[in-house]
Amino acid sequence: MLTRGAQTRGVQCLLVLSLVLWSGAAWAQTKMTIATGVDPVFSAYYVAQQEGLFKKHGLDVRINTGPSGSAMVSFLINGQIESAFGSEIAGVSNHNLDPNVVVVAQATRLVRWIAIVGRNVDTLDQLKGKKLGVARGSGGEVFWLALIDKLKLNPADYTVVNVEAPEMVAALERGNIDAYAVWEPWVTRGLAAVKNTKVLRDQEGILEQGVYIYMNLAWIRKNPEQAEGFMRALVEATDLINKDRKRAAKDVSDFLKSLDPPLVEQLMTKLRFEMVLDDFTTSLFRLAETQLKQQGKLTKPLDLGAFVYPDLLRKVLPKSVNYKP
């Protein structure tokens, strides 16, 4: 039979061992700051956070949000953050400034997500000479430029005003702009909040777009295991989104605190969630390159070999990497 002293020492040893194990686990959590916008397009980030998938893979992740995912991509420059989630045009333009900005996966495909909402106008023709709100460097701008090209419109006929997505509904209601090109939920919110509004044109027949996971290449090389864990968390989150939409919608709603689960679930039907790097991915980067060149915003040609970093996704989901270099 153990003496009281021996029992006490045993308890103390167990406490010390528990503290060592706990501190070791806590120490193993690598801090990451990632950034994006505030709508269901970015569900993979939100679900991975809400479901504890980042922590499962040894990551202590902080998600910073801004007016759009694309607006946050620039923070990858000089390693201010480790990952961002945004449009093709944001990735190409920021890689042009800093080669450490690389794309590691396409995570969402926009099927019926972006549209032009107008007030007191019924057609794009009636919009001529009026003000159109567009968030520069966003998927909304990619869509607008593609629409101009597809329908052979004259861009000089329209006055484009730089407006961030969360400000568009109020700007339309005040009369600061006559229409805006934007993504959900701002399409639905504008139609509900402002009288005499309608969708002038949506993506159908114009352009399907993607939204992409960008990372800082220097951080990946310095933290290869953590970078792979980050990718695994996002792949698992995407799998959950596709297998249990109600649960994922609640995760997104809980994170955003601005959209209720039924609306999130409804909006998700306009998106396709898949972690890939394929020919569709690269074709949209080439489109973004062309658009930026036409605007005089690209100082050098896009080198896809340097911009696309397939190694992480290839390790985690090899069949999803099937683009032609």
Q: Residue 158: what pLDDT?
A: 97
Instruction: Tell if the pTM clears 0.85, that is, is over it.
Output: no
The answer on pLDDT for 10 being more than 80 is: no
Give the pLDDT band (50/70/90) at residue 98: very high
Backbone angles phi, psi at 128, to 5 degrees: -60, 135
Q: Please state which of the four CATH numbers 3.40.640.10, 3.40.1190.20, 3.40.50.20, 3.40.190.10 is assigned to the domain occupying 28-110+210-320.
A: 3.40.190.10
Average pLDDT over residues 239-249: 98
The superfamily (CATH) of domain 114-202 is: Periplasmic binding protein-like II (3.40.190.10)
CA distance 279 to 257: 36
Average pLDDT over residues 162-188: 96
The answer on pLDDT for 23 being more than 70 is: no
Average pLDDT over residues 207-215: 95
Q: What proportion of the chain, given as a percentage, has pLDDT over 90?
A: 87
Whole-angstrom distance between the N-terminal and C-terminal Cα of the chain?
72
Q: Is 130 helix (H, G, I), strand (E, B) or coil?
A: coil
Average pLDDT over residues 155-178: 97
Average pLDDT over residues 48-54: 98
Average pLDDT over residues 287-306: 94
Residues in the chain: 325
Instruction: Choose the weakest-confidence range: 9-18, 151-160, 261-270.
Output: 9-18
Instruction: Choose the weakest-confidence range: 23-32, 61-70, 114-123, 144-153.
Output: 23-32
Q: Residue 324: what pLDDT?
A: 87
Q: Residue 25: what pLDDT?
A: 45
The answer on pLDDT for 14 being more than 70 is: no
CA distance 206 to 47: 30
CA distance 216 to 41: 21
CA distance 130 to 29: 52
Fold match between domain 28-110+210-320 and domain 114-202 = yes
Instruction: Choose the weakest-confidence range: 18-27, 104-113, 275-284.
Output: 18-27
Domains in the chain: boundaries: 28-110+210-320, 114-202
Give the pLDDT band (50/70/90) at residue 24: very low
